[in-house]
Amino acid sequence: MNNLHKAGLAISRGKWGWEPAGMPAIKLYTTGRKSGQERESMLTCPVVDGDTFVIVASRGGDDFHPAWYLNLRDNPTVWVEAKNQPKHQRTARIGTSEERAALWPSITEKYKGYAGYQERTDREIPIVFLERI
């Protein structure tokens, strides 16, 4: 998703690419846990709760967490860009098992692929709340 959507956003000057598969998309900027460099990831956001974005660290059902997740786990201060929202700072909070259980049906309703990803791996796929500061 990253390269296609980044290209679409760049070519259209932000008019195309913010709602793939009917879900909002965001650009997430984290600080690399090893390099200290800014890292950018384009992600879908299956749940928006008020002013909080909820994202899913699925990595397509791999047995390993995505790098962006490891980065925000170690440094929860992140930046987010979304449709009609310029780049702004947020705090990332990893959801509890209880929060995940409550939201998982809504998440998989938005994109059924997440259920398949969970079936492929033994790890519990985390959800992350991106809360405005």
pLDDT along the chain (133 residues), means of 10: 56 55 88 97 92 97 98 99 94 98 97 96 98 96
Sequence spans of domains, the chain: 2-132
Instruction: Report which residue type is found at 99.
Output: E
Alpha-carbon torsion 83, 124, 75, 37, what sign? negative
The total of other beta-carbon atoms located within 10 Å of residue 39's CB is 16
Q: ∠ CA(23), CA(26), CA(27), 5° rounding?
A: 155
Which pLDDT score, from 0 to 100, does residue 84 have?
A: 86
Which pLDDT score, from 0 to 100, does residue 23 have?
A: 81
d(CA 47, CA 25) in angstroms, rounded, equals 10
Going by C-alpha positions, the residue among 132, 133, 126 that lies closest to residue 55 is: 126
pTM: 0.88
How many residues comprise the chain?
133
Burial of 64: CB neighbours in 10 Å, binned 0-12, 13-18, 19+ = exposed
Q: 2-132: which CATH architecture?
A: Roll (2.30)
Which pLDDT score, from 0 to 100, does residue 3 have?
A: 61
